[in-house]
Chains A and B, each alone.
Chain A
Amino acid sequence: MSKLIVSLSPHAHGTDSVERNMYGVIIALMPALLVSFYFFGLGSVVVTATSVAACVFFEWAISKYILKQERNSVLDGSAILTGLLLAFNLPSNLPAWIIIIGALFAIGVAKMTFGGLGNNLFNPALVGRAALLVAFPAQMTTWPKVGQWGSYLDAETGATPLSIMKDAIKSGDASLLNQLPDSLSLFLGNHPDGGGAMGEICGLALLVGLGYMLWKKIITWHIPVSIIATVFVFAGLLHLANPAYADPVSVILTGGLMLGAIFMATDYVTSPMTTKGQLIYGVAIGFLTVVIRNWGAYPEGMSFAILIMNAFTPLINNYVKPKRFGEVAK
């Protein structure tokens, strides 16, 4: 005898799923990953593999043995994503055991302690990176130069464009900025003198990823655009006031700015829920990034800016409301 099934409306569901979004972001990261393999060779393969494997393992083990979840949360793809993003933020000559510690911080401390996917306050990959930066400052601030195919731990390191910018500001000597690669090389990532974190090197590859995520409606434009626009305007004003501050185009194309704006700040869990809130969040991240880069102790400010604004996200959600239908402007 066939039955009539009863439930409340709606009786239809779209095709969207958590997995579709997570794997969508992973696909969007592929161009940047391939570029990083191309520029950093063996080292980047080892770092990526270690980071992803460690993140997936910690997620699986904690879900199974500590949280005892019925459906192991490793299946949703978010641990792979965290592993990739963590790797993207690391130098390609980082020893595997350090990466594993970073993965434990990212998944274990920043994510699973709070209850797993959806409950964490801070971006897991960035917490992993920040923890490593504090614990291993030397290893985390030397960056291999690009184009060393067969090298891993032995890779030759060099000054990054960011450290050149920092030196120029400290000394007030604008001529130091002449050492910066031209904008096109920065955009493509093929500047043999300088390196950086594995995934941040090629703006073009990251923009392709952004295009893919916008096309697939995984994210909206608000956060990346507001961050990049704010940095451009703020850095531009500083450059006009004092040429020792690098020109805004170089500022946008260096360091983790693109990676952070496109992939880290847009993390669903740790960013605001309304478009208005996302714009506030983006502008604040852009502002803080420039402040930290120019006047802070570290040459890079992107990850700290995002982590600071992660802390403000609940507050933004509380006070910034979407415009209700029919609401009269007050």
Chain B
Amino acid sequence: MNARTFSIGGIHPEENKLTHEVATKVAALPKQAIFPLSQHIGAPAKPVVQKGDKVKVGTLIAEAGGFVSAPIFSSVSGTVFKIDTAIDATGYRKPVIIINVEGDEWEETIDRSDKLETVEAHPELTPEEIVNRVKEAGVVGMGGACFPTFIKLTPPPTAKAECVIINAVECEPYITADFRLMMEHADEILVGLELLMIAAKVTTGYIGIETNKPAAIELLTEKVITKFNVQSSKFNVSVVPLKQRYPQGGEKQLVDAVIQRQVPAPPAIPVNVGAIVQNVGTAFAVYEAVMKHKPLFERYTTVTGKRLANPGNFLVRMGTPMQDLIDACGGMPEGDNKLLAGGPMMGKALTSTEVPICKGTNSVTIISDDEARRKEPQPCIRCAKCVGVCPMGLEPYLLAKLSEIKNWERAEQEDIVSCIECGSCQFTCPAHRPLLDNIRQGKATVMGIIRSRAAKK
């Protein structure tokens, strides 16, 4: 297999894909579901329900709060308990809608059958119609970034989309939710890809999968051949095996790996080089939204950790507190732990086990304290390994230093805003220096300076 990969830097963290072979289970309904109003990039959603309102599974409970925003749907049936604040993944108390669960009654418009719907059977699906349904269903990027999907499908007039790339890389250690989804719903994902291609008005599609998932590569290659490699198909789709390397699932790295084009520095986005990247989970969500009229209220999530009794993959309703899932896996291990929303490279450490599963929660990862404890930093020995692994061609040692001494001007010149916060530098640093901690702070400050400069003009 002649696998491709991205061109600069990268690392090989320990895989720890403990739940690779564990089939997805449907998670039990929570007693109470919590819906943060801000679980996507952009403006928070605005509640459209009040305390005491009855809702069903799939009822709109909050509408989009602006252009870059997404509506939120109830994942449970029951009564709105209150509109309040609760701790979310950021560690702060944020506005939420809390619903007490009663039964499991679904909105009638949702098609709950398993029947595979095809594009051929739905001539009404114009690009505009697909984009509209995706928007109305609250679909956002499911890989963790949570950017509203409909915006990506309607690129600015200055850019022209040439292909859709499905991100099935899953390069973060531990996480297997995307892999399980591919093994269990390959047909739906391919219809999802077809819908995405129609919506983006392109005929070329790629599915990028790392070679540590040979079963998924084999399955999807076979399905792609039977579905797209026929005379009648106007689409040209290929599965692209990718060499294992973190952070290949980063949008820019994936575009580089799959079509060998490098997205320029911000504000450029992948579509500036012709690519629209969508996570494999997003493709599935698009299928369900468009074909089954099912808004986004449940997702595939991995619950994992070396010391969990029964780690697994779950189809889970959003709003379910993580504690419920941890209990389903045998409970929190003894001792001090780190609870992560996401994987060990980019996941957020949470302050509470009551944080709910949101649209972007691809994993609940539990790492024991001794495994995750940072070692005492030593002086930088200038070994240049951070420069070697940076996938953006930056100099992390320098950016970290500039941030420490607050030299924002120079930090901006040295392209600190290009940092994708993948953590490769800090992972590699032999002196255990908190490189990304410092860079992140510097990047936020410099971005603030750039914004205020733009505002003045």
A residues contacting B by CB (< 8 A) are 2-14, 16-18, 20-21, 71, 76, 78, 115-119, 220, 268-269, 271-275, 278, 317, 321-328
A-B contact pairs, 29 of them (CB 8 A): A2-B336, A4-B336, A4-B352, A5-B369, A8-B349, A9-B342, A9-B421, A9-B423, A10-B346, A11-B367, A12-B345, A13-B432, A16-B428, A17-B432, A18-B381, A21-B430, A118-B379, A269-B382, A273-B387, A278-B384, A321-B414, A322-B390, A324-B415, A325-B263, A325-B391, A326-B263, A327-B262, A327-B264, A328-B264
Whether the Cβ atoms of B384 and A273 lie closer than 8 Å is yes
* B384 neighbours in A (Cβ, 8 Å): 268, 272-274, 278
| Of listed A11, A317, A324, A326, residue having the most chain B CB within 10 A | A11
B residues contacting A by CB (< 8 A) are 8, 11, 13-14, 91, 173, 252, 256, 262-265, 268, 332, 334-340, 342, 344-353, 367, 369, 372-376, 378-385, 387-388, 390-395, 397-398, 414-415, 418, 421, 423, 426-432, 436-437, 440
Given known contacts A5-B338, A5-B372, A273-B397, A324 and B379 CB-to-CB distance under 8 angstroms: no
In the complex formed, the residue of A with least CB distance to B11 is A14
Question: Which applies to chain B's interface (DSSP): helix, strand, loop or mixed?
Answer: loop
Q: How far is the CA of A278 from the CA of B388 in the complex (A)?
A: 12
User: What is the minimal beta-carbon distance from B248 to any residue of chain A, in angstroms?
Assistant: 13
* A5 neighbours in B (Cβ, 8 Å): 336-338, 349, 369, 372-373
Q: How far is the CA of A3 from the CA of B350 in the complex (A)?
A: 11
* A272 neighbours in B (Cβ, 8 Å): 384
Whether the Cβ atoms of A11 and B351 lie closer than 8 Å is no
Given known contacts A5-B372, A269-B382, A10 and B344 CB-to-CB distance under 8 angstroms: yes
Whether the Cβ atoms of B350 and A6 lie closer than 8 Å is yes
Q: How far is the CA of A78 from the CA of B381 in the complex (A)?
A: 10
In the complex formed, the residue of B with least CB distance to A118 is B379
User: What is the minimal beta-carbon distance from A82 to any residue of chain B, in angstroms?
Assistant: 13
Given known contacts A5-B338, A6-B349, A117-B379, A16 and B385 CB-to-CB distance under 8 angstroms: yes
User: What is the minimal beta-carbon distance from B152 to any residue of chain A, in angstroms?
Assistant: 19
Closest 7 CB pairs of A and B: A10-B423, A118-B379, A12-B344, A326-B262, A326-B264, A324-B393, A16-B430
Q: How far is the CA of A12 from the CA of B367 in the complex (A)?
A: 9
* B339 neighbours in A (Cβ, 8 Å): 4
Given known contacts A3-B336, A5-B372, A20-B430, A273 and B395 CB-to-CB distance under 8 angstroms: yes
Q: How far is the CA of A268 from the CA of B387 in the complex (A)?
A: 13
Whether the Cβ atoms of A14 and B428 lie closer than 8 Å is yes
Q: How far is the CA of A17 from the CA of B377 in the complex (A)?
A: 10
Of A9, A13, A21, A323, the residue contacting B346 (CB under 8 A) is: A9
In the complex formed, the residue of A with least CB distance to B387 is A273
* A17 neighbours in B (Cβ, 8 Å): 375, 430-432
Given known contacts A2-B332, A10-B427, A11-B347, A326 and B383 CB-to-CB distance under 8 angstroms: no
Whether the Cβ atoms of B374 and A13 lie closer than 8 Å is yes
* A323 neighbours in B (Cβ, 8 Å): 8, 393
User: What is the minimal beta-carbon distance from B331 to any residue of chain A, in angstroms?
Assistant: 11
In the complex formed, the residue of B with least CB distance to A21 is B430
Of A115, A118, A322, A327, the residue contacting B381 (CB under 8 A) is: A118
User: What is the minimal beta-carbon distance from B415 to any residue of chain A, in angstroms?
Assistant: 6
User: What is the minimal beta-carbon distance from A330 to any residue of chain B, in angstroms?
Assistant: 13
Q: How far is the CA of A324 from the CA of B384 in the complex (A)?
A: 16
Name 4 extra pairs, CB < 8 A, besides A10-B346, A117-B379, A322-B395. Answer: A4-B352, A9-B348, A12-B344, A325-B265
* B385 neighbours in A (Cβ, 8 Å): 16
Q: How far is the CA of A253 from the CA of B427 in the complex (A)?
A: 39
Whether the Cβ atoms of A2 and B337 lie closer than 8 Å is yes
In the complex formed, the residue of A with least CB distance to B14 is A12
* B372 neighbours in A (Cβ, 8 Å): 5, 7, 11-12
* A273 neighbours in B (Cβ, 8 Å): 382, 384, 387, 395, 397-398
| Of listed B262, B384, B418, B431, residue having the most chain A CB within 10 A | B384
User: What is the minimal beta-carbon distance from B240 to any residue of chain A, in angstroms?
Assistant: 19
Q: How far is the CA of A291 from the CA of B75 in the complex (A)?
A: 77
User: What is the minimal beta-carbon distance from A132 to any residue of chain B, in angstroms?
Assistant: 26
Given known contacts A9-B347, A12-B173, A71 and B376 CB-to-CB distance under 8 angstroms: yes
Whether the Cβ atoms of A11 and B349 lie closer than 8 Å is yes
Whether the Cβ atoms of A6 and B351 lie closer than 8 Å is yes
| Of listed A5, A6, A76, A78, residue having the most chain B CB within 10 A | A5
Of A2, A20, A21, A78, the residue contacting B334 (CB under 8 A) is: A2
Whether the Cβ atoms of A10 and B380 lie closer than 8 Å is no
Whether the Cβ atoms of A116 and B418 lie closer than 8 Å is no
